[in-house]
Structure 1
Amino acid sequence: MNPVSTITPPSLTVSGATSMSLTCPFPREMPSRTKLVATLGPASESDEMLAKLILAGVSVFRFNFSHGSLEEHAERLERVRAVAKQLQANVAVMGDLQGPKIRVGKVPPPGITLRTGQDVSIRRAVPEAFVADDGTAVFGTTYEQMIHEVRAGQRVLVNDGAIRMLAIEDAEAMARGELRCRVTVGGLVTSSKGINLPESDVRAPSLTERDEVCVRFAAEHGFDYLAISFVRTADDVRVLKRLLEDCGKGKGEDRIPVIAKIEKPQAVANIDEIAKTAHALMVARGDLGVEMDIAHTPIAQRLILEAAKRYGKPAIVATQMLESMIKSVMPTRAEASDVATAIFAGASAVMLSGETAVGRHPALVVETMRRIALEAEAFTIERDSVEPSLPAALDAPSRRQAALAHGAWHLARDLGVKAVACWSQTGGMARNLSRSSMAAPVLAYSSDFRWTRRMALLSNITPILAEPPSTGYLADWTDQVEADLMDFGWVDPGDHVLLIAGKPLGAPQTTSAIAVLEVGNRATGFRAHDR
């Protein structure tokens, strides 16, 4: 990688009093409410392309720990942080753990082609796959315990289900410590292809040794989110939380929120407990579509999104959203509909994988996704005005903030406000306003850069990094919000803006008051509150 070069950013510095130092992405162009997650890779790691992606609408960059060395990830992280700083943009980074992915062992090139009806043997300690004299294809695996966990009649899928086999009864093979299968759909098997066992009770640990190394790397380098793969139960999420606690990143303002990737049928069956335990959910449709009947995948997606809404958690929909744009300059009609449908169903964010990691047009695909999101959102806002319900399983402080956001939703609707601004030091009020699905955009102020970055994942939230006014007056914050919104071009004189804050500004869980600002009217907002 080349060192980060100097980027001349567009005019992004916002005006305002010297008592506050602000940064905000896209100040003169309304961002999409749905957040866009882009996977980093060779096609998107340059400083120039990172700048294009941020300006096109990316709020979160995904680091896929399944590929690349930690040294490469460290270089990319440094680049993302540097470019975001130059563009004055609050951008989050998410580490995606590989998890206990089961893979085929080494296969000699160009691979072994399996035929329908052929027998396959999966064995321990196979340095390289081969075809035995009796025609049986013999493979090793990265998870040898599967030999004892797969039962006769259960499916064994290779290469995302392109190759299909059934385990067969063979007492002698079991005694020798091998798993015998018969091919039902053949194809070419090459090294390290994934193996899925949708019907087997796999007891692999939720975090591998490699995952633990990556977790410590993410904690040391200040990642904003960590996604755990192949979650089966809420206990898997708790394992990662405990490891983060050991790293000093499990509690308080330093905690790294955990995203549970839902990609196994067991996770869908346990979705309520997982949603309660995780900070966010991801509909990881790649392995999910392999592990279960493809016809059930859309239903599973809906169930996951409903659970996220029920417990007030952000939800990301991922995999093959605009996959044709890896090569093409236009998505298919089905892909455009897929993105919009996810937004209609309540996704907080939509994610790009190969499209931005290795695709030919990373910036174009982000801009295309953003345009689809804006159209879908405008349609939803125009047609839907459903009163939000309070999320389930809230503790007392969270319930107070959720109730305040619930009341703010009614005020915003009845007054037809053009924007909402809140002070949300550690993201609590921002999360509540995000889950309330307000029609107006929300600015969320905080003086903690860690939380302005983490708020970048929250739908309909534009985070603002700011120091509280030196006077401590909410009246001065009112002046600043009005100046910012006018400078952004989001409001006009006479428009109403809802303000939500508490004293002292900059302290967590102090939000307790709502005021209505009429732009241009010096008697409104919090101006009469403390003067």
Structure 2
Amino acid sequence: MRRAKIVCTLGPASQSQEMLEALIEAGMDVARLNFSHGSHEQHAENIAKLRAASLKCRKAVGILGDLQGPKIRTGRFITGSTELKQGGEFHITTDESVKGTDEIVSTTYPHLAADVNPGDRILLDDGLLELRVIETDKKQLIRTKVIHGGTLKNNKGINLPGVAVRADALTPKDREDLVFGIKEGVDFIALSFVRQPADIDMARAAMAQIGQSVPIIAKLEKPEAIARLDAILDKTDGVMVARGDLGVEIPPEEVPSVQKDIVRRCNSRGLPVIVATQMLNSMIDNPRPTRAEASDVANAVFDGADAVMLSGETASGKFPIESVQMMDRIVLAAESTIRAQDLLRAPTSPVGLPTHFPDVIAASACQAAKQSGASLIAAFTLSGVTARLLAHYRPPVPIVAFSPNQEVRRRLALLWGVVPRVLEPIQETEAMVRRVEEELVARGLARKGDRVVIVYGAPVGQPGKINSLRLHVIGG
């Protein structure tokens, strides 16, 4: 059974009911809605289809609403694109009414002319094209020299390495998308271009205004975020290592070590961490990945990522189902090489969890599962805290988390090693144990004679009260 989860980005290649069902069957655990593209009507339709597909496949699937953030882009060209020639001169203007030509293009960032200085680098289209600032009038117009040329199309991203960008973490569009996503029932919100802890506070305040809240996944793609990593981790509910913009903002050779450091720090705190961007990128057009891509996915698993993410592979690629199947096989193969004792963490308390005692129960349950030869850990959880505590210790067996709350089950879909299952509220301990056993056998998760570790709170039914574990033999 695979432990690390798979996040799939939805798009034109993956919007039909049949395709969503196929992606779930192939291994999708969480679906990502990219609010940079598509209308609210389209996203609402996808959410409805996804919920129906999840119900049909009898699998809890989370939905991640990914906010666009203060992404700086070029404007549009009269002809749709232009060719930038190395050594030539090209202008950028903050006047968005200007239509692009071979000599000039507009930008969505009103402070660009004021923020850059001669000698600064301006990277276009995920760093494929590079300009060097020659002169700026500090008001509207920037003259640049083309260092690395190529074709520049409409609405391409602009990165400004080393330039302090003046932009709120939430744009007006982000606020609209946030309200829409929460009202439509997304399970997570991904906050783009997080630079400081205050950005997460801003998102929580926006949620508070509508009286609802969902977990926030901080996307780390700016050098400022890496410099303030611990402070950001104190605030967020999870992290995405967004290697696309991160690999443009910092030297590419630094990305692997930064990724490992982020994953390590998240693991130590019990925070879910997603590794994203170009994991199987060649499968957008080809039915098989490169060997380097397979190694990339495997190394993310070895590092300790809770989830790995597919972007264009499932959103717009030719082989969305094959991409998920391949990701599933690579993760399983990587996990099979990691010995059980290497997975089990030393029982150190994660940061930010409610009390020490539940943490001790979780660590003990994982150790008991290892020493007793149990086939799984079964946890009854109302809030999801129990499952999160257990996942932190990376036990050598699956964690089957039973909850009556569908929102909790969908959020658990992102956690490493957790298999969410529905179970009605039960107020008596022995009745709960019987129902857990019935469900495990009925779902093919356990057989008669199997040893399982059961974690729960007594009295049963009180959220966050984790104080009991039991070694149980199925049918015994």
Pairwise TM-score range, normalised by the shorter structure: over 0.9
Which of residues 464, 467, 474 is equivalent to 1:509? Answer: 464
Identify unmatched segments of 5+ residues in structure 2.
none
Q: What is the one-letter code of the residue matched to 2:173? A: R
- Map of 1:8 onto structure 2: none
* Correspondence for 2:184 among 200, 221, 233: 221
Q: How far has the Cα of 1:124 moved from its partner?
A: 2.7
Alignment-derived partner of residue 484 in structure 1? 439
Per-residue CA shift, 1:317-370, capped at 9, x if unaligned? 111111111122211111111111000000000111111111122112111111
Task: Say if 1:401 and 1:428, in contact at 8 Å, map to a contact too.
Answer: no
Would you say 1:158 and 2:128 are equivalent positions? no
Q: Deviations over 1:37-67 (max 9, x none)?
A: 1111111111111111111111100000000
What SS does the corresponding residue of 1:102 show, helix, strand or coil? Answer: coil
Paired residue for 1:451?
Answer: 408
Say whether residues 1:309 and 2:278 are aligned partners: no
* AA at the equivalent of 1:360: K
Mapped partners of 1:387, 1:83: distance in 2 = 36
Separation in 1, partners of 2:337, 2:138 = 62
CA offsets 1:279-332 (integer angstroms, 9 cap, x no match): 000011111111111111111111111121122100001111111111222111
Partner SS state of residue 309, structure 2: strand
Aligned to 1:496: 451
Alignment match, 2:26:
56
Deviation of 1:519 (Å): 1.9
- Whole-angstrom distance in 2 between the partners of 1:481 and 1:41: 38
Moved more, 155-164 or 81-90: 81-90
Query: Per-residue deviation at 1:466?
Result: 1.5
CA distance, structure 1, for counterparts of residue 4 and residue 35 of structure 2: 25
- The equivalent of 1:401 in structure 2 is 358
> Equivalents in 2 of 1:500, 1:316: separation in Å?
27
Say which SS state the counterpart of residue 401 (structure 2) adopts.
Answer: strand
Query: For 1:175 and 1:457, how far apart are their aligned partners in 2?
Result: 45
5 Å-filtered alignment, 1:79-94, equals: 79-94=49-64
What's the TM-score, normalizing by structure 1?
Answer: 0.87
> Equivalent of 2:328, from 348, 357, 370?
370
CA distance in 1, matches of 2:334, 2:414: 18
Q: Contact between 2:240 and 2:276, CA under 8 Å: does it hold in 1? A: yes
Instruction: Give per-residue Cα distances to partners, 1:160-184, cap 9 Å, x unaligned.
Output: 111101122x3xx425532222111
Shift of residue 403, structure 1, vs aligned partner: 2.0
Q: 2:70 aligns with which of 93, 97, 100?
A: 100
Distance (Å, rounded) in 1 between the aligned partners of 2:161 and 2:11: 29
Pick aligned residue for 1:130 from 98, 101, 104: 101
C-alpha distance in 2, partners of 1:411/1:285?
38
- Structure 2 counterpart of 1:431, from 388, 397, 402: 388
Moved runs in structure 1, 4+ residues, more than 6 A?
Answer: none
Given that 2:129 and 2:150 are in contact with CA atoms closer than 8 Å, whether structure 1 keeps it comes out as yes
Q: AA paired with 1:188? A: T
The worse-fitting range, judged by mean Cα deviation, of 333-342 and 147-156 is: 147-156
Match status 1:139 vs 2:139: no
| Of 126, 151, 157, the match for 1:188 | 151
In 1, are the aligned partners of 2:115 and 2:138 still within 8 Å (CA)?
A: no
Q: Which secondary structure state, in structure 1, belongs to the residue aligned with residue 144 of structure 2?
A: strand
Q: How far apart, in 2, do the equivalents of 1:406 and 1:505 lie?
A: 20
In structure 2, C-alpha distance between the alignment counterparts of 1:327 and 1:218, rounded to whole Å: 31
Residue in structure 2 matched with residue 240 of structure 1 by the alignment: 203
Aligned position for 1:5: none
Task: Please state how far the C-alpha of 1:89 moved relative to its aligned partner.
Answer: 1.6
Q: Kindly indicate whether residue 357 of structure 2 is the aligned counterpart of residue 422 of structure 1.
A: no
Query: Do the aligned residues in 2 keep the contact of 1:405 with 1:429 (CA within 8 Å)?
Result: yes
Q: CA separation in 2, counterparts of 1:229 and 1:299?
A: 21
Question: Could you tell me how far 1:504 is from its partner in structure 2?
Answer: 4.0
Equivalent residue number for residue 282 of structure 2: 324
Within the candidate set 162, 168, 180, 1:205 is matched to 168
- In 1: Cα distance, 2:352 partner to 2:233 partner: 12
1:513 is matched by which residue type in structure 2? S
Distance 1:431 1:409 in 2: 12
Offset of residue 503 of structure 1: 3.1
CA contact 1:309–1:391 (8 Å) conserved in 2 = no
1:445-497 deviations in Å (ceiling 9; x for gaps): 1111111111111110011122123xx22112211222222233333333211
SS at match of 1:167: strand
Q: What percentage of aligned pairs have identical amino acids?
A: 39
Aligned counterparts of 1:453 and 1:497: Cα–Cα separation in 2: 23
Distance in 2 between residues matched to 1:495 and 1:120, nearest whole Å: 69
Deviation at 1:110, TM superposition (A): 4.5
1:284-299 equivalent positions in 2, closer than 5 A:
284-299=242-257
| Match of residue 410, structure 1, among 352, 360, 367 | 367
> Is the partner of 2:29 in helix, strand or coil?
strand
Two-structure CA RMSD over aligned residues (Å): 1.6
Measure the CA separation in 1 of the matches of 2:471 and 2:117: 64
Task: Tell me how far apart the structure 2 counterparts of residues 35 and 175 of structure 1 sit (CA, whole Å).
Answer: 47
**SS of residue in 2 equivalent to 1:491:** coil
Match of 2:306 in 1: 348
| Counterpart position of 1:467 | 424
CA–CA distance in structure 2, aligned partners of residues 226 and 70 of structure 1: 15
Shift, 1:391, TM fit? 4.4
Q: Structure 1 residues 256 and 176 mapped into 2: Cα distance closer, same or farther (>3 Å)? A: closer
SS of 1:506's equivalent in the other structure is: coil
Of the two, which has the highest radius of gyration? Answer: 1
Residues 226/175 of structure 1: CA separation in 2 closer, same or farther (3 Å cut): closer
Query: Compared with structure 1, are the counterparts of its residues 378 and 184 closer, same or farther at alpha carbon in structure 2 (3 Å cutoff)?
Result: same
Distance 2:159 2:268 in 1: 30
Once the two structures are superposed, residues 175-218 of structure 1 have per-residue CA deviations (whole angstroms, 9 ceiling, x without a partner) of: 55322221111112121111000110001111111100000001
Change in Cα spacing, 1:346 to 1:385, as seen in structure 2 (3 Å) is: closer
Amino acid paired to 2:142: L
Gaps of 5+ in 1: 1-29, 132-136, 250-254, 522-531
TM-score normalized with structure 2 length: 0.96
In the superposition, relative to structure 1, how do residues 129 and 391 fare at CA in structure 2: closer, same or farther (>3 Å)? farther
Which whole-Å CA distance do the structure 2 matches of 1:146 and 1:110 have between them?
Answer: 22
Give 1:36 shift.
0.7
* 2: CA distance, partners of 1:157 / 1:376: 35
SS in 2 for 1:215: helix
Q: Which residue identity does 1:57 align to in structure 2?
A: G
Match of 1:45 in 2: 15
